[in-house]
Amino acid sequence: MKRKKKLSQSEIIASLKEQKDEVGEYEFTYDASRHEREWIVNSLGLFYEMQWFADILRLVKGGKEASVYQCLASSVSPVEGRFIAAKVYRPRRFRNLRKDHIYREGREDLDDSGNVIVKDKMLKAIRQRSDYGRKVMHTSWLEHEYKTMQILHAAGADIPKPYASGKNAILMDFIGDEEMAAPTLNTVDLDRVEARLLFERLVHNIEILLTNELVHADLSAFNILYWEGEIMLIDFPQAIFPIENHNAFMIFERDLRRICEYFIRQGVEVDHHDLVKKLWQTYNYRQMPEIDLNMLDEEDEQDRVYWQLIKDDN
């Protein structure tokens, strides 16, 4: 990116309002299409002006829901490594989340400063799912992810260090090097010994979450990065509070089932039912799962059958 003169906060905001004309002025190493460039400048322009990073090097992964960019940390930013990852949310990221109320139960909606929303207008908009309400919710999910990451990082979990959040993006440690970003665990084959060690490390991390009254809620080998023999958990917007969420046990069980499926393929011997029960009891969460079988979608028929069994078992 071409460096521009340092602006005051109000100048930055004014300049961002004229985004569309300005987009052409930024020069990233990453050569985005005009449309993507606009989206990047809208989402990351302020972070650039604040000198968190000096350049956007490449798109690590662009999906339907979020795009993650590898950026070069600026010499004045407090980032520990050379690079910083910018996770930019698609506008539709949370519109399509199936049954989002299941994840939202027991958590408060947050505004763009991470404060609990108390304004009637915003709450009403959320309830009515107006365009404005959707925007507010979008920000709330993002702030929830950022707050969760802050808590977990401070608690010593293996996650990228979060640095800053904005309306549409989170900055965090980049896992990888100049050549490549860390692969997700689902693409990695481990030998048995390493698999056992990493599995234990993962359980240790899950215990850190439970200690902090959190369940990831979208945990699988797809949301774990593998780098230099270590794992890093990512992707937290859906994290739930097990104490306040009626479906917590079920969601927790699904997390553990998915990761056990991966580790069993890598040669780890584990019975995920036993592990789920043991962890849940250790942390003294509601003993009896209160399962809302209506939460399951048609394609989750396997889950439904499984859950009926667990219910009968209890």
Binding site for Mg ion (CB under 5 A): 223, 235
Instruction: Give the nearer residue to ligand ADP in terms of CB position, either 15 or 150.
Output: 150
Selection from Mg ion, ligand ADP, none that 181 binds (CB < 5 to 8 A by kind) is ligand ADP
How many Cα atoms are found within 13 Å in the side-chain-facing hemisphere of 201? Answer: 17
Rg of the chain (C-alpha set): 21
From the list 125, 151, 181, 215, which residue makes contact with ligand ADP (rule: CB under 6 A)?
181
CA angle 85, 142, 253 (to 5 degrees): 95
- Within 10 angstroms of residue 59's Cβ, the number of other Cβ atoms is 17
174 binds ligand ADP (CB under 6 A): yes
Instruction: Give the nearer residue to ligand ADP in terms of CB position, either 53 or 280.
Output: 53
From the list 65, 112, 194, 207, which residue makes contact with ligand ADP (rule: CB under 6 A)?
65
Contact indicator for 204, 244 with CB cutoff of 8 Å: no
SS3 303: helix
Residue span binding ligand ADP (CB under 6 A) among the ranges 19-27, 65-73, 128-136, 287-295: 65-73
Residue span binding ligand ADP (CB under 6 A) among the ranges 101-109, 116-124, 173-181, 273-281: 173-181
63 binds ligand ADP (CB under 6 A): yes
Instruction: Give the nearer residue to ligand ADP in terms of CB position, either 216 or 257.
Output: 216
How many Cα atoms are found within 13 Å in the side-chain-facing hemisphere of 190? Answer: 26
Residue span binding ligand ADP (CB under 6 A) among the ranges 169-177, 209-217, 253-261, 284-292: 169-177
Of 194-223, binders to ligand ADP (CB under 6 A) are 223
Q: For residues 120 and 8, what is the distance between their CA atoms, to the nearest angstrom?
A: 32
Instruction: Give the nearer residue to Mg ion in terms of CB position, either 49 or 235.
Output: 235
34-56 residues labelled b (16+ CB within 10 A) or e (exposed): eeebbbbbbbbbbbbbbebbbbb
Give the DSSP letter of residue 240. B
Q: Given the structure tokens 């230099």, which residue do they identify?
A: 228
242 binds ligand ADP (CB under 6 A): no
From the list 235, 253, 255, 303, which residue makes contact with ligand ADP (rule: CB under 6 A)?
235
Q: How far is the CB of 30 from ligand ADP (least distance, A)?
A: 14
Instruction: Give how many residues touch ligand ADP by CB under 6 A.
Output: 21
Q: How far is CA 146 from CA 9, 124, 131, in A?
A: 22, 24, 23
SS3 299: helix
Instruction: Give the nearer residue to ligand ADP in terms of CB position, either 181 or 210.
Output: 181
SS3 253: helix
Residues that bind ligand ADP (CB under 6 A): 60-61, 63, 65-66, 68, 85, 87, 160, 172-176, 181-182, 184, 223, 225, 234-235
